[in-house]
Chain A
Amino acid sequence: NAGVTQTPKFRVLKTGQSMTLLCAQDMNHEYMYWYRQDPGMGLRLIHYSVGEGTTAKGEVPDGYNVSRLKKQNFLLGLESAAPSQTSVYFCASSRLVRPYEQYFGPGTRLTVT
Chain B
Amino acid sequence: AQRVTQPEKLLSVFKGAPVELKCNYSYSGSPELFWYVQYSRQRLQLLLRHISRESIKGFTADLNKGETSFHLKKPFAQEEDSAMYYCALSSGNTPLVFGKGTRLSVIA
Contacts and interface: CB of A to CB of B under 8 A. Distances in A.
B100 A100 contact: no
B100 A102 contact: no
Contacts of A40: 9, 100
Contacts of A43: 44, 86, 98, 101
B86 A100 contact: no
A65 to B, nearest CB: 18
B46 interface: yes
Interface residues of A, number: 22
A44 B4 CA distance: 12
A40 B100 CA distance: 6
Given A100-B32, A105-B43, A42 B95 contact: no
B32 A104 contact: no
Contact of A42 (B43, B45, B99): B99
Interface residues of B, number: 20
Contacts, number: 47
A104 B44 contact: yes
Contacts of B13: none
A92 B32 CA distance: 19
B100 A48 contact: no
A96 to B, nearest CB: 10
B69 interface: no
Interface in A76-113: 90, 92, 99-107
A9 B46 CA distance: 22
Contacts of A103: 43, 45
Given A45-B95, A100-B88, A102-B36, 11 more contacts: A40-B100, A42-B86, A42-B100, A43-B44, A43-B101, A44-B98, A58-B95, A99-B93, A102-B46, A103-B43, A107-B43
